[in-house]
Amino acid sequence: MVDDVHVVVAFEGRQGPEDVYLLDLHLDRPGRARDESAYLAALSPVVALVDSREGCVVRIGREHHLGNRRRSAVDLSVSLPTPMLRADETDPGERTEQQEAIEAAVAAAFRTFIADNPAPWPGELGRDAAVSTARRRVAEVLAEPGAPTLSVAAEEHVEGQWSIRLASPASGGFEVNVGFVDGHPGTTHLRRLGTGEVVDSVGD
């Protein structure tokens, strides 16, 4: 039986993860443990969009907490190489058709996981909670030591999705979209930015 489902799809660059998609589901009642093939099948369209001779790395772990409050979790991690850009696709902030297709494929996979693992809707995040989530995700996934104090360079809230840019004097910054799948607060997309992509338009 499974209480929680955690999924990470990370595109790796020379300095570590550059583009990361995350899903966290906390089920209202324990669900059945799905066969690994079901998770892989949902993510196979994402892998198919990445041209990689080396393939990808998939890690699936199961965690069990014993005691008075027993819980079980499935952790699924997919590591893929960052898609190479052509010379005419290097403008900061510009997204390629391949990147758009990858995001759509990840969103579709996450919708499948959400449908297969019914969980109570956590409710839409307010601004402070969204910023806190963005900083926490950057600290956890991209190992940014100063994440708790990163300033908000820009923010936008549309249909339950928070798009937040965090500025880092040392590494440029990060773009974090909380609720990127239909406004579900358990879905997050974060991307490492170059110094030219961070615009200090809004202070924290």
User: Do 85 and 3 lie in a common domain?
Assistant: yes
Q: How many domains does the chain have?
A: 2
Q: What is the pLDDT of residue 95?
A: 64
Q: What is the pLDDT of residue 89?
A: 46
pTM attached to this predicted model: 0.83
Q: What is the pLDDT of residue 12?
A: 82
Residue with tokens 């990445």: 50
User: Do 94 and 193 lie in a common domain?
Assistant: no
Tens of pLDDT along 141-158? 877 777 778 889 999 999
Go through 91-122 and write b for each residue having 16 or more CB atoms within 10 A of its CB, e for each that does not: eeeeeeeebeebbebbbebbbebbeebebeee
Tens of pLDDT along 70-111? 777 888 888 888 776 543 444 445 567 888 898 999 999 999
User: Do 101 and 9 lie in a common domain?
Assistant: yes
User: Do 114 and 127 lie in a common domain?
Assistant: no
- Among candidates 4, 15, 22, which has minimal Cα distance to 78? 22
User: Do 1 and 41 lie in a common domain?
Assistant: yes
Q: Which of 73, 96, 120 is at the close of a domain?
A: 120
User: Do 88 and 133 lie in a common domain?
Assistant: no
Structural domain that includes position 157: 121-204
Instruction: Report the share of the chain in percent with pLDDT over 90.
Output: 27
Q: Which of 90, 120, 150 is at the close of a domain?
A: 120
Q: What is the pLDDT of residue 163?
A: 95
User: Do 111 and 125 lie in a common domain?
Assistant: no
Q: What is the pLDDT of residue 100?
A: 87
Tens of pLDDT along 32-56? 666 678 888 898 898 888 866 666 7
User: Do 78 and 25 lie in a common domain?
Assistant: yes
User: Do 108 and 33 lie in a common domain?
Assistant: yes
